[in-house]
Amino acid sequence: MHGERIRVRGLVQGVGFRPTVWRLARECGLIGDVCNDGEGVLIRARPAADIDPAAIERLCERLRTECPPLARIDAIERQPLTEPIPHSDFRIRDSQITQARTAIVADAATCPDCVREIGDPKDRRHRYAFTNCTHCGPRLSIVRGIPYDRSRTSMSVFPMCPACRAEYGDPANRRFHAQPNACPDCGPRLWLVDTQGREIDTGATGDLDAIAAASRLLHEGRILAIKGIGGFHLACDATNAEAVAELRRRKRRYAKPFALMARDLEVIERYCTVDTEAARILTTAAAPVLLLNGIEPDPGSERALADAIAPGQTSLGFMLPYSPLHHLLLEDWDRPLVMTSGNLSEEPQCIDNQDAVARLSPLADFALLHDRAILNRVDDSVVRVMAGAPRMIRRARGYAPSPIGLPPGFETAPAVLALGGELKSTFCLLRQGEAILSQHLGDLEDARTAREYERTLDLYLDLFQHRAQILAVDRHPNYRSTLIGRDRATRWQIPMVDVQHHHAHLASTLADNAWPLHGPPILGIILDGLGYGDDGTFWGGEFLIGDYRDARRAGHLKPVAMPGGTQAILEPWRNLFAQLECAGGLDAMRRRHPDLTTLDALAAQPLGVLRTMLERGINAPLSSSAGRLFDAVAAALGICGERILYEGQAAIELESLAARCLADTESGYPFQTSEGPTGIQLDAASMWPALFQDLSQGVEIARISARFHRGFAAAVVELALEIARRHQIATIALSGGVFQNRVLLESVSKDLSDAGIQVLLQRQVPSNDGGLALGQACIAAARAIRP
C-alpha cells in the first residue's frame, strides 16, 4: 500500500506540533514518521495493513481541528510517497534543519493545564513559578542562538532532573521537547530582596514563600520590582492612591497611563466594559495589554482605582496574568495591580538582576528576583479594538517574532533588512514571502536602547539566518536607525534604499492587508506626527497615491511652521501660535475675544522672539503634520498647552474628551481646501474663528473637541474622495500615528466605506512608527523584484 508525503507549512516548529502529529497519526492507525526541516514539518505516512485508506485524509483533517494552541497551519501539501517507510510504527525523527525559518516563536501566556498544576497541592509543580509546557512559556525572551534547544537558552544552566527529563523525552507528554521545562527540584528559583539587594528570608516572615511575601507587601502599599518574562515590572496596589502617586513620583512618569493586571476577567469587568471580543483578546496566548473603555466607578467604592492611573483618559490598559508567577501573585487580589515597566521614564526596562537592583532600588521598596536570565527584553504588547477589530498599538511580547505572511508577488523577494524609525523603533527581516518584525525596541536616542537595538538585530540575523542583500532605512538623515543602516551597508557592501516616511506607512498598511505586489495604486491617508519629506520639509498630513514601489503626494495639510523645531513638539502652545498666525493672527483673535484666558496665556509667552523666528525662518521648519494640528487645538482648550509629559499626550486627551460627547455632536468646524503646487491643501485656518467663538460662548471643551474631530474627519474624507474620484481610485488606506485616535479612525473609515470605498486599516502591526520597518522592507523588496 502506498503512502503520502505531507508537507505542513506555517508556524509549526517549537510549538509542540510533532508530538501532536505523532499522537494523531497513531490514533489514525498510520505508520511513518514526522520531522522538522527548513520548510516546516514533513510527514511520511501510510495506513497500517488492516486500516482503511482514508486514514491519511483523517489525519490531515484532525491536524487542522486539533492544531496545538501556539501553532498555525498555513498549508498542507500532499504528494504520493516514492520511497518505502523503513519501520512499522510511527516515529518522531530528529530535525533535518538545513535552514532555520520558523523555529523561534513568541513568548506565550501560561496555558490552562499549567495553571491547574500550579494550583493543585498534589501536583509536583504546586506553586512553582516557572511551570511551562509546549503550549506555553518563554521563548524569544530566553533564546541566545539556533537551533532552538535548551543549550541555547538561559535554561542551559539548569540540568533537568530525571522526572523532567522523562517528560521531555516522551512524545505523549505535554512537555515533550519543551525546552524551558523545569520543576522545583531542578529549575529556577525566586527570592525577595530589599533595596540593598539582600535576600529576605520569607520563611521567617511567616509567609508561605517569596510570592506570598511579595503579595503581602503589595497589600501593605509597597512598591515592588518584579522580574517577569521579558523584563521587570514595577507593581503596586492600583486602588492605593498613595502608592500610585509615590510610584509616579519615583519613576518620574507624571502623566502617562499605567498598565494594570487583574487576576481574571471578573475583576476587569468591575472597571471596564469587556465584551466577548475583548475577553477573547485578553485570554489569547499573547496576553496583551488591552485598552478598554473605563466605566464610571461607584462613588466612594473602596475598590475604586486611584485617579493617577490614567489621568485625562477614559480608557484603561488591562492585561491578565501571563506567567505562573503572576497567577500566584494575584491569587488573593480582587483588585488590580499596577504593572508598569521597570524603568525610569523613557529608558528601556531592566532585564538583569544586578542592573535591576542598582537601577530599580530608588524606585521600588523590594524586588522579587529569579535566576532564569532574560536574554532579550520583550515589553508588554498593547492592543486596542478600533473600527471593529483588534489593532496593534505596541507589538512585542506574544507577537514578535512570529512571521507575517506577505502578499502574493513577494515569494521571490530578496533578503531585505529594514531598520524602521527612531522613537518606536523596530526592524524587519524580509525574504521569500515572509517578514519577521522585531519586538518594539523603543527610543533610539536613548543610549541603552540604541545598544540593545543593535544587539537584538544581531540576534535576529543569527536566529533567522538572515543575510541581507538590501538595506532599507528612513530618509531622515539623523535617525539613529538610518546611521546604523549606513554603517552596516558599508560594512556588508550592499545597497541601501532610503524610504520616505509616509510611503513606508502606506506600504506597511498594504502588506498588513495582503494587498498584492502588483495590485493597482491606491490612496493612502497618512496622518502622522512628523516624517522627513521628499522636499526636505517635514510631512505628516499626507494624501499619497502609490503602491509598494512608489508614492506621490496628491494632497496634504497646509504646512505651518514649527517654531523651535523639536521644542514645538514638546510645547503645544507654539503650534497654536503658529496656527493662529496663519489664520489672521493672534492679535486679531484677541481683539475679537478679549475675554479668553487661553489667548491671554498665549500672549504672555515670549512671542517677540517667536515672531522673528517665524518671519526669518530661524529653526521654524514648515510641517504639514496632523499631530501638530491636534497639539494646537489641545493648547487652545487649555490641555497640556505648556508642555506635554509623554508623546502624543495632547492628542490622546483631546480624543478622550471628544469621545464623551461625540454621539450628540453633529456639526464640525469648517476646513477649506485649495489647489497648491504639491497637491490639494487642506487648510485649518477657517476652523479657528469657529472654535474660539464656541470657547468664548462657554461651550464645554469636550463639545469643542468633538466638533474639531467631526470637522477634521469630514474634511479629510471629502478631500480623499475628491482625490479618489480624480484618479479613479477605489481603495484607501489609513495609517500614521494620528490614526491611533479611535474617534478619528472610526469616523473616517466609516464615512469612506459608506461612500463605497474599500478601506484598508492596519491590524497586525501598529499604524505608528512601530510599523514603519515592515513598509520599508516591502518597498525595498518590491523595487528589487522584476515586474
Catalogue the active-site residues: 18, 36
Min CB(533)–other proteins separation in Å: 11
Instruction: DSSP letter for 187, please.
Output: S
In the region spanning residues 502 to 531, those forming contacts with Fe ion, defined by CB under 5 A, are: 528, 531
461 contacts other proteins (rule: CB under 8 A): no
Residue 631 to residues 640, 654, 748, Cα–Cα distance (Å): 9, 9, 20
Q: Which of 446, 498, 722, 746 binds other proteins (CB under 8 A)?
A: 446
- C-beta of 314 vs 345, nearer to other proteins: 345
Min CB(167)–Zn ion separation in Å: 8
448 contacts other proteins (rule: CB under 8 A): yes
CB 402 within 8 A of CB 105: yes
CB 349 within 8 A of CB 232: yes
- C-beta of 372 vs 440, nearer to other proteins: 440
Q: Amino acid identity, residue 689?
A: P
560 contacts Zn ion (rule: CB under 5 A): no
What is d(CA 316, CA 118) in angstroms, rounded to the nearest whole number?
29
Nearest residue to 318 via CA among 395, 259, 399: 259
Min CB(341)–other proteins separation in Å: 14
What is d(CA 530, CA 518) in angstroms, rounded to the nearest whole number?
29
Residue 477's binding partner out of other proteins, Fe ion, Zn ion, none, with CB under 5 to 8 Å set by partner kind: other proteins
What is d(CA 278, CA 385) in angstroms, rounded to the nearest whole number?
8
What is d(CA 375, CA 398) in angstroms, rounded to the nearest whole number?
16
696 contacts other proteins (rule: CB under 8 A): no
The site for other proteins, by CB under 8 A, has a size of 54
Residue 653 to residues 9, 295, 315, 463, 575, Cα–Cα distance (Å): 45, 17, 10, 41, 17
- C-beta of 66 vs 615, nearer to other proteins: 615
Bridge-based pairing of strands 731-735 and 758-761 is parallel
**Binding track over 138-167 against other proteins, x by CB under 8 A:** ------------------------------
H or E element at residue 498: strand 496-499
In the region spanning residues 240 to 259, those forming contacts with other proteins, defined by CB under 8 A, are: 252
Q: Which of 31, 517, 560, 562 binds other proteins (CB under 8 A)?
A: 562
Residues listed for the chain: 787
Q: Which of 176, 532, 630, 688 binds other proteins (CB under 8 A)?
A: 532
In the region spanning residues 143 to 182, those forming contacts with Zn ion, defined by CB under 5 A, are: 161, 164
111 contacts Zn ion (rule: CB under 5 A): yes
- In sequence order, the β-bridge partners of residue 43 are 6, 34
718 contacts other proteins (rule: CB under 8 A): no
- C-beta of 445 vs 700, nearer to other proteins: 445
CB 261 within 8 A of CB 337: yes
* Stretch touching other proteins by CB under 8 A, among 120-128, 296-304, 372-380, 603-611: 603-611
Count of CB atoms within 10 A of residue 298's CB? 10
626 contacts Zn ion (rule: CB under 5 A): no
Within 8 A by CB and 6+ apart from 140, the residues are 104, 105, 106, 107, 230, 376, 378, 400, 401, 439
Q: Which of 315, 476, 769, 775 binds Fe ion (CB under 5 A)?
A: 769
Q: Which of 53, 203, 408, 477 binds other proteins (CB under 8 A)?
A: 477
CB 97 within 8 A of CB 38: yes
Strands of 221-320 (E only): list them.
224-227, 232-237, 259-261, 289-293, 315-319
Q: Amino acid identity, residue 640?
A: C
550 contacts other proteins (rule: CB under 8 A): no
Residue 111's binding partner out of Zn ion, Fe ion, other proteins, none, with CB under 5 to 8 Å set by partner kind: Zn ion
Is the C-alpha dihedral spanning 236, 242, 244, 247 positive or negative?
negative
319 contacts Zn ion (rule: CB under 5 A): no
The number of angstroms, rounded, from the C-alpha of 716 to the middle of its chain's C-alpha atoms is 26
185 contacts Zn ion (rule: CB under 5 A): yes
* Stretch touching other proteins by CB under 8 A, among 121-129, 225-233, 445-453, 665-673: 445-453
Give contact residues for Fe ion (rule: CB under 5 A): 528, 531, 769
Give contact residues for Zn ion (rule: CB under 5 A): 111, 114, 133, 135-136, 161, 164, 183, 185-186
Give contact residues for other proteins (rule: CB under 8 A): 252, 344-347, 421-424, 444-448, 450-451, 454, 476-480, 483, 501, 528-532, 538, 540, 562-569, 606, 608-610, 612-613, 616, 618-619, 621, 627, 647, 737, 768-769
